[in-house]
Chain A
Amino acid sequence: MSLYRIFINKALTGLLLVVLLATSNISFAADGEALFKANCSNCHKPDADYTGPALKGWADREPNKEWIYKWVANPAQMIATDAYAKQLFEKWKPTVMTAFANLKKDEVDAIMKYVDDYTPPVATAQTGGAGAAAGAESEDNSMLFGILTLILALVAFILLQVNSNLRKLTDDKEGVNRGEPVPFYRNKTYLMLGVLVLFMIGGYNTVSSAIELGRMKDYQPEQPIYYSHKVHAGTNQISCLYCHGSAQDGKHSGIPSVNVCMNCHMAIKEYKGDPIVLEDGKTLDANAEIQKLYSYAGWNPDTKQYNPDNNKDGVPDGASAIPWVKIHNLPDHVYFNHSQHVKVGKQQCQTCHGNIQEMPEVKQFSDLSMGWCINCHRESKVDFYNKETKEGNKFYSIYEKFHTDIKNKKLDSVTVEKIGGTECQKCHY
């Protein structure tokens, strides 16, 4: 049974990985989405006013596309020179949009296309339901296979019994005396077979559960503040890197310091979204959770000011760091670097952390086992440098042999494994 389940789980995980990888590689529309999330979503929503105006329908309002390019590159200058820009500023002041001078025209185009094509996501409960149904279905399938196997085994057993009875009958008829047949439960062959099967199943289970020791897939501890990624990353579309910025700089993705939370929560005092229903059926008092944040930050929501620092420790009085419970734990002998995967490998956070934007409270999505790491390293392709088109990461230009092989069509792509990504000392030192 468990054999099937594991097989199916693996198949599903693999499928999910493939789907995620595939979606991350669909370039145009997805790029727009990624760019929007990375650059705009902190202040804009596609279809509703937020810190800045809703972006959908820009073509009906803005003078022309060129205007958009100029505006994105340097809003301050536009406000000073352009009448429409000034009008816009009057409406939204004192906030001035951040300049994105390094966004290219085609990237701006991609963002604009994304916001125009944007349709609000279908209620998540539905998708969740569908997913659950699919899951249940696959469970049923494995049950089906199991029952089928059992029935077949039973049929085989009955047939064997019938066979032996028939042989006895013919023997009796022909006068061959073979003695009383041993009943099947005392037949040593059957017994041996049974013991062997039990031993194999038991051994397999022991070994695989021993390997699982210390792994914490689905670990979902209770946190000091009920922080919902679903509300922040899902509904409000805040880019992952806004809070976990060090994921692109260092080995740790980093848990945002309290002042990062307060960037938004100085203004957002109340939760106005759909009620959050907890596992026990109760509805969460989301505003109380925001109040917890204020108390950690030493912020007084009434006066809209931080508490004074009377004890001269450099932080507002009463403020303290939030003792989050760490979910993703790697053993000490493993070196893992987020920036390697996010910045160089260009992986989506969801590849390893699952659909975090749909998790009310975060749980560990992957088992973080070595086999899981290695599998991905075997399959993932590096952003290999193409000497002709000059595309890809130029670092890889030093791999002369692979360049020759690609040229000679011996190789079509380079996986992480090819450049040594499955060797011991890439992660253990």
Chain B
Amino acid sequence: MSNNKYWQNFGELNQTEAYKDAAEKEFKEDLLPIEELSKEGLTLGKTPRRDFLKYLGFSTAAATIAASCEMPVRKSIPFLQKPDNVIPGVSNYYASTYVNGGDAISVIVKQRDGRPIKIEGNDLSSITKGGTNAQAQASVLDLYDTTRLRHPLQKSGNDFKEVSSFDAFDAMIANAMGSMGNKPVVLLTSTITSPSTLQIINNFLAKHPGSQHVQYDEVSYSGMMMANEACYGKKAIPDYRFDNAKTIVSLGADFLGTWLSPVEFSKQYASNRKITGEKPTLSRHFHFESMLSLTGSNADDRYTHKPSETGAIALALLAKLGGAVSAPSIADAHLKAGINKAAEELMKSKGASMVVCGSNDVNVQVVVNAINEIIGANGTTINWSVTNNTRKGSDAEMAKLITDINAGQIGALLVYGCNPVYSTADGKKLGEAIAKLPVSISMNGTLDETTEQCKFVMPAHHWLESWGDAEIKTGQYSFIQPLINPLFKTRAFQSSLMKWSGGAVATTTTAAKDSTGKAVAKVEGADYDAFFKNYWTSKLGSADLFDKALQDGVAETAYTLATATFNGGGIAASASKLASAKSGAIEVVLYQKIAMGTGTQANNPWLQELPDPISKVTWDNYAMVSPELAKTLVGLDVMTNQRQADSYEVTPEKPVIKITANGKSIELPVLILPGLNNSTIAVALGYGRASADEKLSLERIGRSATGAGKNAYPLVGFDGSSFTYNSVATAEKTNNTYPLAQTQVHGSSESRPVIYETNLSSFLANPEAVLEEPNHEKVILLAEGKTDFVKEGTIYPDFEKPGIKWGMSIDLNTCTGCSACVVACTAENNVSVVGKIQVQKAHEMHWLRIDRYFTGDVKNPDVVFQPMMCQHCDNAPCENVCPVAATNHSSEGLNQMTYNRCIGTRYCANNCPFKVRRFNWLDFTGSDSFKDNQQPLRGSELDEVVFQMNDDLTRMVLNPDVTVRSRGVIEKCSFCVQRLQENKLEAKKQQDPSLVRDVKTACMQACPTNAISFGNVNDKQSMVSKARADKHRNFYVLEQLHVLPNVSYLAKIRNTDRHIGVIEEHESGAEHKATEKHKQNHG
């Protein structure tokens, strides 16, 4: 279906005046950071001729003086004793593991001259197989976070004072814990996957009788674990195998974005979404949800429902599949048809089907378990031979702990890796109670909401400074090794515990037995570093094996699939509880954004400025509602009323509503998106970080996190056994507005077709059809008798690429929109963070953006993601218009950008049909010759975050091989030319051209689904050549313009019965009509 209509917002859908106007004017003058020219002419303007001459004179004189000053004397200081493995200017790569709460991803860290500067996936991990996500990519910046604590602290009044030494700190702790009486000690941590740490914790608990270890997940999976305990006798999470599933039904589980182990699942999921061979097959993915999630956007068929209906849908599915439950009535016929269809497909592929559910309600999960039992998922797609250890938190335990703390029944509270004062519903109260406890110690790295309430703070290392391990799944270990000496006076969390449990550890407690049952002999060590080494040397058997494990980053044992015995006893009880689920006219659902997650990395500018793939909003959370609900809530009709759509979409100011649920309210701006259930308001967690005293937020929480969104955790409920993330709510309009910085339609293709898509059955029937239209357009452009579009479709000569010709291919079928590539690109290429004010003015600098397009039914559209970066056109429109030849073409097919030649006319950006060129409107990097020229713009044009990024500490993250751009120059994707050059150099040194096949751009490396292939097009064996061999799907965006892009895309194929882009009515007759139309199109 090549004639689909794709749209990015309502303005584009309706082709409103304001939309057309905005698309035409790429650089909106009223938004520019320059003084307005008055209409009366130069002499009367704010900058009259005389001033102009003054400025001219001054700048000439200043430039002369600046340039003729003596050259500075630079020092070149070598090592005193050079380590063998460090060659200045050559990067080293070490395996490690990104750990954030329970999340653990095996990674390779690029270390340049002793500094970690880039995270990449570890191919040796059987779990993530080289994939990463946005958070892991961005975490290297957290190492250089200016809010990190630099030494141990002790509370003094409302402030903290430095503790001079670790010994003094330990003495204070011993003293304090000795005098607190008989009250229990509680260690509150995030989920701990590290077996060596668990052993240390057990020792600590043994030293303090009556003490307890509580693991707490900020977004909980407790309901699921309880259900598994009831059904399978294991309070654990099984190993999901999306790669074995032919039919996947998700009930609100965002497994490609934020649910459980998204990188692993994306990899598995994508393996069944690749089009290969003559008769390709695809897995089929049904998605039922209330809001529009990343996973939902990728589904073949997607249905929306009220949040409270999740249980009903699970029951209906179970009933349809033959379960002994009575099906609840479902009013929505479309939804009902969807459930029936899903049930049918699940049974069709019995034994290769799975149902996953994002609910934290134990009853829903019990029903889902029952479904999985019927469709044969147990032991095939849901594997019980190993468990997923990344979430272990028990909500009941946590709730009890909160009650105990509030009642003052705890003697000492030790906090590590979690922030309950921020992330629990009654955080403020909890914080006050913690402050009153006899002993409270935090081992978090920053003065976050919980830490600032504690009496003692012993900051732990960042993971890039630590030793450690993670047992991600049973028997699947991933190792952490330090990439840099601790930057500050911090101490490993484990070392602190060892000190406080009496020094060296020598033990054979239960945890000493690893999960495979092998007993670990006595392990000793003065601190965690030594302990860790001894532990693993003994466990793995030898020092060599330990070294190998560190080198690989993983030590894994093969496992087979296994079932667990199912006990369906609780189904009836659960079903009856679900039948009485409370529902309301408006319900709120709390979700996580792929960038912000639970909010632990909220002070990471890269993540804050990453546009959410669905809403394209940066720097904030918001109340996401459907157009229908917006009509009733704030009186805006964006679907049919063009003026209202314009006034809503053109200005960043959005109306604010007040949402009340569970007795708490928050005020949030409204963001109208299609594809949401009409009763649902979706709000992201992880925003609104703030100190108890908000004046201290900038300093303690950080310059990025402060002011970004509102905290939605207060809306989390508790149903007596687990936390609930959806509830009945009320919402009312306020008179306020709030600006949202949205990057959507900043780069508009002006409604030219850029995406081609069809469904699987049409594709199988006629694979030529999907690209019929663009191919036809190419033919019309050619003069009669000519056949070669590339050479003969233009008046320009054809330039040869004698050696290498770089090219990229992006598979729209497997791109999930997860945005890991965007952060990877930012990290690799020193892309500036511009701050919210500048994003509102369309001045964001991302070299790679992910365009999100809607198509089809406005109420429940299909969503397509298209990564868009410089297409490196061989016949590039930008190159012809540059007056100073700052952008030109290389013999390897690269569209080169030379910053020091660029004079900033921006003609190139104007002439680029893909809108991928970025202009440095302001000095975002502080790299101009005059040091203080950022200061006058502070607050009005430049956000605090720009200054955070320019801090000497933060700048340590910069990639030294990439120029830091200054004001007034254009920049854009370079195909990671520094990597290409490095790779070619290596190939030349080794005298082996086949090494060029190893080169990976940053985006390609980061991609968890291998959607991006890159390489030498002249080499038929390269990845990109192989990807482009798929002639039926391979297309170039706007190829008919004869710009000859070097980036190609593979058309998207959905495994659905619907025809993509055709609006169907929700009756059975519509199917027929659509087919008719389809036939006409090809008739």
Complex Cα spacing A260 to B802, Å: 44
Q: Which residues on the B side are within 8 Å of A320 (C-beta)?
A: 80
Complex Cα spacing A213 to B64, Å: 10
Least CB distance, B141 to chain A, in whole angstroms? 22
Whether A259 lies near B987 (C-beta < 8 A) is: no
Interfacial residues of chain A within 190-246, with CB under 8 A of chain B in the complex: 213-214, 216, 219, 221, 246
Interfacial residues of chain A within 317-335, with CB under 8 A of chain B in the complex: 319-326, 329, 331-333, 335
Whether A323 lies near B75 (C-beta < 8 A) is: yes
Residue of B nearest to A296 (CB): B80
**In the assembled complex, A420 has its CB within 8 A of some CB on chain B:** yes
Complex Cα spacing A399 to B78, Å: 40
Given A257-B82, A329-B74, A429-B977: A344 in contact with B989 (beta carbons within 8 A) = yes
Residue of A nearest to B887 (CB): A424
User: Binding site of B, secondary structure by majority: helix, strand, loop or mixed?
Assistant: loop
Q: Which residues on the A side are within 8 Å of B962 (C-beta)?
A: 429
**In the assembled complex, B573 has its CB within 8 A of some CB on chain A:** no
Whether B1019 lies near A259 (C-beta < 8 A) is: no
Whether A429 lies near B985 (C-beta < 8 A) is: no
Interfacial residues of chain B within 963-1003, with CB under 8 A of chain A in the complex: 963-964, 974, 977-978, 981, 984-985, 987-989, 991-993, 996
Complex Cα spacing A229 to B311, Å: 82
Q: Which residues on the B side are within 8 Å of A221 (C-beta)?
A: 73
Complex Cα spacing A258 to B79, Å: 7
Given A257-B81, A259-B81: A395 in contact with B898 (beta carbons within 8 A) = no
Complex Cα spacing A142 to B1046, Å: 54
Interfacial residues of chain B within 1052-1079, with CB under 8 A of chain A in the complex: none
Q: Which residues on the A side are within 8 Å of B75 (C-beta)?
A: 323-326
Given A250-B90, A394-B993, A400-B802: A424 in contact with B82 (beta carbons within 8 A) = no
Complex Cα spacing A165 to B192, Å: 107
Whether B900 lies near A333 (C-beta < 8 A) is: yes
Whether B1018 lies near A329 (C-beta < 8 A) is: no
Residue of B nearest to A419 (CB): B803
Contact with B80, one of A250, A319, A326 (Cβ below 8 angstroms): A319
Whether A398 lies near B961 (C-beta < 8 A) is: no
Interfacial residues of chain A within 120-165, with CB under 8 A of chain B in the complex: none
Q: Which residues on the A side are within 8 Å of B964 (C-beta)?
A: 332
**In the assembled complex, A180 has its CB within 8 A of some CB on chain B:** no
Whether A321 lies near B79 (C-beta < 8 A) is: yes
Interfacial residues of chain A within 394-415, with CB under 8 A of chain B in the complex: 394-402
**In the assembled complex, A42 has its CB within 8 A of some CB on chain B:** no
Given A250-B88, A398-B803: A425 in contact with B977 (beta carbons within 8 A) = yes
**In the assembled complex, B784 has its CB within 8 A of some CB on chain A:** no
**In the assembled complex, A393 has its CB within 8 A of some CB on chain B:** yes
Least CB distance, A387 to chain B, in whole angstroms? 13
Whether B963 lies near A254 (C-beta < 8 A) is: no
Contact with B88, one of A246, A395, A400, A426 (Cβ below 8 angstroms): A246
Q: Which residues on the A side are within 8 Å of B780 (C-beta)?
A: none
Residue of A nearest to B79 (CB): A257
Q: Which residues on the A side are within 8 Å of B963 (C-beta)?
A: 332-333, 428-429
Whether B894 lies near A323 (C-beta < 8 A) is: no
Whether B804 lies near A398 (C-beta < 8 A) is: yes
Given A246-B89, A259-B82, A395-B987: A401 in contact with B74 (beta carbons within 8 A) = no
Whether B802 lies near A399 (C-beta < 8 A) is: yes
Whether A425 lies near B898 (C-beta < 8 A) is: yes
**In the assembled complex, A188 has its CB within 8 A of some CB on chain B:** no
**In the assembled complex, A388 has its CB within 8 A of some CB on chain B:** no
Interfacial residues of chain A within 279-330, with CB under 8 A of chain B in the complex: 296-297, 315, 319-326, 329
Given A251-B89, A401-B800, A428-B898: A256 in contact with B78 (beta carbons within 8 A) = yes
**In the assembled complex, A249 has its CB within 8 A of some CB on chain B:** yes
Whether A258 lies near B71 (C-beta < 8 A) is: no
Residue of A nearest to B963 (CB): A333
Total A-B pairs, Cβ < 8 A = 151
Whether A429 lies near B978 (C-beta < 8 A) is: yes
Q: Which of B899, B974, B981: most chain A Cβ within 10 A?
A: B981
Interface string of B928-971 (1 = CB under 8 A from A): 00000000000000000000000000000000011110000000
Residue of A nearest to B886 (CB): A424
Whether B77 lies near A322 (C-beta < 8 A) is: yes
Whether A258 lies near B78 (C-beta < 8 A) is: yes
Q: Which of A296, A335, A418: most chain B Cβ within 10 A?
A: A335
Complex Cα spacing A420 to B891, Å: 6
Q: Which residues on the B side are within 8 Å of A357 (C-beta)?
A: none
Complex Cα spacing A150 to B73, Å: 43
Whether A326 lies near B992 (C-beta < 8 A) is: no
Whether B77 lies near A254 (C-beta < 8 A) is: no
Complex Cα spacing A423 to B961, Å: 17
Given A323-B75, A420-B892, A428-B899: A335 in contact with B961 (beta carbons within 8 A) = yes
Complex Cα spacing A425 to B898, Å: 7
Interface string of B79-97 (1 = CB under 8 A from A): 1111000011110000000
Residue of B nearest to A213 (CB): B67
Residue of A nearest to B802 (CB): A401
Q: Which residues on the A side are within 8 Å of B80 (C-beta)?
A: 257-259, 296-297, 315, 319-321
Q: Which residues on the B side are within 8 Å of A326 (C-beta)?
A: 74-76
**In the assembled complex, A343 has its CB within 8 A of some CB on chain B:** yes
Interfacial residues of chain B within 885-927, with CB under 8 A of chain A in the complex: 888, 890-892, 894, 896-901
Residue of A nearest to B804 (CB): A398
**In the assembled complex, A104 has its CB within 8 A of some CB on chain B:** no
Q: Which residues on the B side are within 8 Å of A333 (C-beta)?
A: 899-900, 963
Whether A339 lies near B985 (C-beta < 8 A) is: yes
**In the assembled complex, A340 has its CB within 8 A of some CB on chain B:** yes
**In the assembled complex, A337 has its CB within 8 A of some CB on chain B:** yes
**In the assembled complex, A252 has its CB within 8 A of some CB on chain B:** yes
**In the assembled complex, B68 has its CB within 8 A of some CB on chain A:** yes
Q: Which of A315, A423, A425: most chain B Cβ within 10 A?
A: A425
Given A320-B80, A323-B77, A394-B993: A426 in contact with B87 (beta carbons within 8 A) = no
Whether B1019 lies near A398 (C-beta < 8 A) is: yes
Least CB distance, A415 to chain B, in whole angstroms? 13
Given A329-B71, A344-B985, A402-B802: A324 in contact with B76 (beta carbons within 8 A) = yes
Whether A425 lies near B974 (C-beta < 8 A) is: yes
Complex Cα spacing A165 to B90, Å: 77
Q: Which residues on the B side are within 8 Å of A48 (C-beta)?
A: none
Contact with A423, one of B68, B890, B978 (Cβ below 8 angstroms): B890
Complex Cα spacing A213 to B81, Å: 37
**In the assembled complex, A1 has its CB within 8 A of some CB on chain B:** no
Residue of B nearest to A344 (CB): B988
Q: Which residues on the A side are within 8 Å of B74 (C-beta)?
A: 325-326, 329
Q: Which residues on the A side are within 8 Å of B978 (C-beta)?
A: 335, 429
Complex Cα spacing A267 to B275, Å: 69
Least CB distance, A341 to chain B, in whole angstroms? 11
**In the assembled complex, A255 has its CB within 8 A of some CB on chain B:** yes
Q: Which residues on the A side are within 8 Å of B1016 (C-beta)?
A: 398
Q: Which residues on the A side are within 8 Å of B981 (C-beta)?
A: 335, 426, 429
Whether B78 lies near A255 (C-beta < 8 A) is: yes
Complex Cα spacing A343 to B892, Å: 22
Residue of B nearest to A260 (CB): B82
Given A257-B78, A323-B75, A401-B802: A249 in contact with B67 (beta carbons within 8 A) = no
Complex Cα spacing A420 to B991, Å: 18
Q: List 26 A-B contacts (CB under 8 A).
A: A250-B90, A257-B78, A258-B80, A258-B81, A259-B82, A260-B82, A297-B80, A321-B78, A321-B80, A323-B77, A324-B77, A331-B900, A332-B964, A333-B900, A335-B961, A339-B989, A344-B988, A395-B992, A401-B802, A419-B802, A419-B803, A423-B890, A425-B890, A426-B890, A429-B962, A429-B974
Give the 7 A-B residue pairs with the shortest CB-CB distance, closest first.
A326-B76, A257-B82, A257-B79, A251-B89, A425-B896, A250-B90, A255-B78
Residues of B near any A CB (own CB < 8 A): 67-68, 71, 73-82, 87-90, 800, 802-804, 888, 890-892, 894, 896-901, 961-964, 974, 977-978, 981, 984-985, 987-989, 991-993, 996, 1016, 1018-1019
* 5 further contact pairs, Cβ within 8 A, besides A246-B89, A323-B77, A324-B78: A257-B82, A335-B981, A337-B89, A395-B988, A419-B802
